[in-house]
Amino acid sequence: MGVLHRLQVPLVALLSYTAIAQKVIDLGTKQWTLSSPVYNISVPGRVPSQVHLDLFREGVIPDPYVGLGDFELRWVTLTNWTYETTLDGLDSTIPTWLLFNGLDTFTSIEVCGQHVASTNNQFRQYYFEISDILKSCSTTPDLSINFGSAVNITADIASEPGQEVWPPGQVFWPGGVEGVFEFPNRQFMRKEQSDFGWDWGPAFAPAGVWQPAYVVQLPGPAVHVRNTLLDIYRQGQLNNLPPDQNAPWIVNASIDVIGSLPSNAKLFIEIMDIKNVTVASGAMQNMTSIGSTITGSVVVDGETCQLWWPVGLGPQNLYYFKITVMNGNESLVSITKRSGFRTIVLNMTPISESQLAQGIAPGNNWHFEINGQEFYAKGSNFIPPDAFWPRVTETKMNQLFQSVVDGNQNMLRVWASGAYTPDFIYDIADEMGVLLWSEFEFGDALYPVGVEFLENVRQEAEYNVRRVNHHPSLALWAGGNELENLELRLAAALDPGNDRWRQEYEQLFLGVLLPTVFANSKSISYIPSSTTNGYLELNFSLAIPMIQRYDNATKGSIYGDTDHYDYNSLNAFDLSTYPVGRFANEFGFHSMPSLQSWQQVLSPEDLHFNSTTIVLRNHHYPAGGPLTDNFHSPLHGMGEMTLAAQRYYPVPNMADPVANFSAWCQTTQIFQADFYRSQITYYRRGSGKKERQLGSLYWQLEDIWQAPTWAGIEYDGRWKFLHYVAKDIYQPVIIASYLNTTDGDLTAYVTSDLWSPATGVATLTWYDYNGTILAPPSSVPFTVGALNITQVLQTNTKTIPYDLTKAVLKMNITATGSLPNTNDTKTFKHEFFFHALDLSKANLQDPGLQLEYNASTGNFTIEATKAVAAWVWMDIPAGTLANFDGNAFWLVPGEKREVGVVVKSDGSGGKWVEGVRVRSLWDNTQS
């Protein structure tokens, strides 16, 4: 009884639809003025927008991203700005509200000269009744929103007596570098933390109405839906624990309204497939109505609906859920959300006896399960795609997510110190099957724990947890970035024996955020910190159900996920320096963007490696710590990239200074890609080792601006070497070599993340760099198990009969297997080159590269006609956004490689094809 089955009588037929009219005015359609009395500026403004964007559009300031705008435009953020409009055409006898989905950040709001409210949280939704003000207003009412300077206001908050002092003693970041690249005191504001600067981004600290805003007029009993929670889970499911996959689904809907709900209000639900054909409908049960929130749930038979899967693991089935609020037989309002049926759990349960018996190290699991299945999470970290969110378009995000999917990634970690992701981005992720590990906006600091601050955070968390919970792409909630592994350890080192810091951390991350997730969602797991050793105990009968393990570890046991940075490039390919954990959620090294990106923001005289503007756009602190306030130290980011390039590759030596600069940018990208590949293959191989490693998310997917950063995709969407290499190494079945740099032990493994075994042959061929095959290739047949590895080579560089400066080993595999949730047999191919670590000593010679374009297929063909080509790169001219299906590869002579291309936007009318150039490492050393 009460279970919704397929094809009940559609609900629509039973309802009388007399939805009561509400009047909603989008404030984005109004004329706005943006002004600063101090600077005597008054220009047209927009909603949603931000001050910098409006000033730029109106010609008051240059493009903030050009040159040193990051420093030169600081005056904009150190002053107050007012956005003003006229609220004409309102009937002042009707109850009226202002509704803001996002104000950035410190505001004072007035209507008709009367104070309405002040706000201080970028991430909250605010709504204020203004009926009385409208009634008493004798003129056409004005709405004015005054934005204070976040930099000044946080400085004031920081100096309040008794305010939180972090880090203890303020010894870690005393002005120094932070004073140049970042504004201090970000932990005192609920605003995008990276707005004050980050090591990969600028510090613009923008202000404005950054999300849509409305006037809502509600005659009679009308209500306006301001937020909707939809939680779909298996009956009996508890957060963080794998549910029974045979249990029916529960669909819980909870609607937040403006206006008053009638006491007998009820909810009805209609579930439709993607073609809007009703698959189930009925009255919701277990209704509760508390304040302006009404909640109900229904049981849905598992047969009724098809599962949603991440890309590569099955189809992305989506359904519409129409929820109607009924007053008796009258429909008050209805809302439709698109969602899907799936369970996603971060399984952190203790390693079981049967897992131990399979050779898995003791400790805890730390991996994701989709619909009850373990899978390998492949992806990267997503940061704010722009310092100014209002100019992040759907087109740009569609292109970016297409690159994610084309790059064989199935998960992104949405990093914790940007902004909660807008729904349109989750919608794209739902459609494309990209899981979004989502985080609350706290990172690399400890935060105040005053009553007001915590209540402000609770409201922010509640709004956002409810807003996004229906997206099947939502994979996890994490409290914040690098807290347990970094900030708590820092606290323990700086203030030994003082328990205060951990207690305060628990107050916020276990006492406020965890209960907000658990009270609103049973379908999503929660962890307090992105990198964590997990829980000692999860017990839902405790007031706070999670007791953290922290560093209470038993030797030999493995508990959590890992975060790894090592800027000493000497260690880059020493596998023993990589962490052994269950999941790698962050790792990386920075590189230069391409010449084409630099040309967007630099004047021609700045197009050299260490130009002042480039050095000042590199915000990676000197490795000596932020106190080493010396940007010309070889330990600064520019020096680290230079050293790494010199250490492992022949460095560019081209006569044309701009071409040489471009080649240098590329060499830093080659090191970056090489280093990430080494780590990704190592982590993926861990799926078959004792650590049962099941995830690799590198730092970072994309750029916020044009600068030297850890990104694999540049600000305008252009792929660096890294994104191509990650695409290659994130294929389901790969081969890779593993060198022990200490004793010369050399192995190769095939790694597969398919859910069934694959069989094939590995072919290993030694080549002289001149292209001669040195010995008959050896063939090794293999079977690799589901989510497992198999070894195909065991040797030692000391016993290899070749001099590695003269010889290179090409390994390739062809395997057959099936993708998850399909029965079709598919062929998987992959190749990998083992070579001397230091390619500047290898006998690279002119590969005689030839490039052809075939207009009828739209494909390019590349051939090395003379010798082995290392790091072949096809470069796309500025003005065209396109990516090849492969790039940044090696070629042996006699092999032709045909490469397809996806054009995302083209300003050249197709002429770009003629501007494509192909080069290899060797070509960059020729003047």
Ligand X SMILES: *[C@@H]1O[C@H](CO)[C@@H](O)[C@H](O)[C@H]1NC(C)=O
Choose between 419 and 614: whose C-beta lies nearer to ligand X: 614
Choose between 323 and 792: whose C-beta lies nearer to ligand X: 323
Note whether 817 binds ligand X by CB under 6 A: no
Q: Minimum CB separation from ligand X for residue 634, in Å?
A: 4
DSSP string of 251-303? EEEEEEEESPPPTTEEEEEEEE-TT--EEEEEE-EEEEEETTEEEEEEEE-GG
CA distance 668 to 842: 18
In the set 331, 355, 599, 610, which binds ligand X (CB under 6 A)?
610
In the set 139, 552, 823, 856, which binds ligand X (CB under 6 A)?
552
# binding residues, ligand X (CB under 6 A): 32
Note whether 343 binds ligand X by CB under 6 A: no
Which regions of 608-757 does DSSP assign to beta strands (E)? 695-698, 733-739, 745-752
Q: How many residues does the chain have?
A: 927
Q: Minimum CB separation from ligand X for residue 26, in Å?
A: 18
Q: Pick the piece of the chain touching ligand X (CB under 6 A) from 102-110, 377-385, 445-453, 895-903.
A: 102-110
- What are the distances in angstroms from CA 568 to CA 336, 671, 792, 816? 53, 13, 31, 40
* Residue 311 burial class via C-beta count within 10 angstroms: exposed 0-12, middle 13-18, buried 19 and up: buried
Q: Pick the piece of the chain touching ligand X (CB under 6 A) from 100-108, 193-201, 452-460, 699-707.
A: 100-108
SS3 360: coil
Residue 738 contacts residue 806 (beta carbons within 8 Å):
no
Note whether 8 binds ligand X by CB under 6 A: no
Q: Minimum CB separation from ligand X for residue 664, in Å?
A: 6
In the set 42, 92, 131, 146, which binds ligand X (CB under 6 A)?
146
To 5 degrees, how large is the angle CA 550–CA 468–CA 316?
Answer: 100
Note whether 106 binds ligand X by CB under 6 A: yes
- For residue 690, the 8-state DSSP code is T
Amino acid, single-letter form, for residue 46 = R
Note whether 163 binds ligand X by CB under 6 A: no
Note whether 103 binds ligand X by CB under 6 A: no
Q: Minimum CB separation from ligand X for residue 304, in Å?
A: 14
CA distance 285 to 694: 39
Choose between 299 and 851: whose C-beta lies nearer to ligand X: 299
Note whether 108 binds ligand X by CB under 6 A: yes
Choose between 363 and 847: whose C-beta lies nearer to ligand X: 363
CA distance 256 to 291: 9
Return the half-sphere exposure (C-beta side, CA atoms, 13 A cut-off) of residue 108: 9
Residues 458-487 that bind ligand X (CB under 6 A): none
Note whether 618 binds ligand X by CB under 6 A: no
Q: Pick the piece of the chain touching ligand X (CB under 6 A) from 143-151, 219-227, 591-599, 889-897.
A: 143-151
CA distance 607 to 616: 13
DSSP string of 88-157? TT--TTS-EEEEES--BS-EEEEETTEEEEEE-BTTS-EEEE-HHHHHH--SSPEEEEEEP-HHHHHHHH
- Say which residue the tokens 């400790």 belong to: 363
Please list, residue by residue across 506-536, b when 16 or more beta carbons sit within 10 angstroms of its beta carbon and e when fewer do.
bebbbbbbbbbbbebbbbbbbbbbbbbbbbe
Token pair in block for residue 286 = 């277990």
In the set 639, 686, 695, 717, which binds ligand X (CB under 6 A)?
639
- For residue 341, the 8-state DSSP code is B
Residues 652-671 that bind ligand X (CB under 6 A): 664
In the set 20, 43, 454, 536, which binds ligand X (CB under 6 A)?
536
Amino acid, single-letter form, for residue 141 = P
Token pair in block for residue 107 = 């505001």
Q: Pick the piece of the chain touching ligand X (CB under 6 A) from 59-67, 370-378, 638-646, 760-768.
A: 638-646
Choose between 313 and 546: whose C-beta lies nearer to ligand X: 546
Residues 6+ apart with CB under 8 A from 68: 613, 616
Note whether 632 binds ligand X by CB under 6 A: yes
- For residue 709, the 8-state DSSP code is B
Note whether 612 binds ligand X by CB under 6 A: no
From 482, 484, 487, 586, active-site residue: 482
- What are the distances in angstroms from CA 811 to CA 252, 739, 749, 779, 829? 52, 14, 10, 10, 11
Report which residue's Cβ sits closest to ligand X. 148
Q: Minimum CB separation from ligand X for residue 651, in Å?
A: 8
- What are the distances in angstroms from CA 21 to CA 217, 325, 327, 457? 9, 14, 14, 34
Q: Quick count: other Cβ atoms within 10 Å of Cβ 641?
A: 27
Q: Minimum CB separation from ligand X for residue 78, in Å?
A: 4
In the set 264, 285, 393, 822, which binds ligand X (CB under 6 A)?
285
Residues 11-70 that bind ligand X (CB under 6 A): none
CA distance 146 to 167: 32
SS3 561: strand
- For residue 835, the 8-state DSSP code is -
Q: Minimum CB separation from ligand X for residue 554, in Å?
A: 7
Q: Pick the piece of the chain touching ligand X (CB under 6 A) from 158-166, 372-380, 632-640, 821-829.
A: 632-640
Q: Minimum CB separation from ligand X for residue 822, in Å?
A: 25
Choose between 105 and 737: whose C-beta lies nearer to ligand X: 105
Choose between 192 and 231: whose C-beta lies nearer to ligand X: 231
Choose between 209 and 764: whose C-beta lies nearer to ligand X: 209
Note whether 927 binds ligand X by CB under 6 A: no
Note whether 790 binds ligand X by CB under 6 A: no
Q: Could you tell me which of 501, 673, 696 has the C-alpha nearest to residue 592?
A: 673
- For residue 351, the 8-state DSSP code is P
Q: Minimum CB separation from ligand X for residue 523, in Å?
A: 14
Residues 287-326 that bind ligand X (CB under 6 A): 297-299, 320
In the set 107, 343, 381, 660, which binds ligand X (CB under 6 A)?
107
Note whether 247 binds ligand X by CB under 6 A: no
Q: Pick the piece of the chain touching ligand X (CB under 6 A) from 142-150, 409-417, 456-464, 783-791.
A: 142-150
Q: Minimum CB separation from ligand X for residue 288, in Å?
A: 10
Q: Could you tell me which of 541, 184, 242 has the C-alpha nearest to residue 370?
A: 242
Note whether 80 binds ligand X by CB under 6 A: yes
Note whether 276 binds ligand X by CB under 6 A: yes
Note whether 642 binds ligand X by CB under 6 A: yes
Note whether 680 binds ligand X by CB under 6 A: no
Q: Minimum CB separation from ligand X for residue 196, in Å?
A: 14
- For residue 486, the 8-state DSSP code is I
In the set 45, 148, 340, 363, which binds ligand X (CB under 6 A)?
148
Q: Pick the piece of the chain touching ligand X (CB under 6 A) from 225-233, 404-412, 631-639, 761-769.
A: 631-639
Catalytic: 482?
A: yes
In the set 336, 352, 503, 816, which binds ligand X (CB under 6 A)?
336
Q: Minimum CB separation from ligand X for residue 697, in Å?
A: 27
- The runs of H, that is alpha helices, within 565-624 are 595-601, 612-617
Give 213's strand partners: 100
Q: Pick the piece of the chain touching ligand X (CB under 6 A) from 97-105, 140-148, 364-372, 390-398.
A: 140-148
Q: Minimum CB separation from ligand X for residue 108, in Å?
A: 4
Binding footprint of ligand X on the chain (CB under 6 A): 78-80, 106-108, 146-149, 152, 250, 275-276, 285-286, 297-299, 320, 336, 536, 552, 609-610, 632, 634, 636, 638-639, 642, 664
**Residues with a known catalytic role:** 482
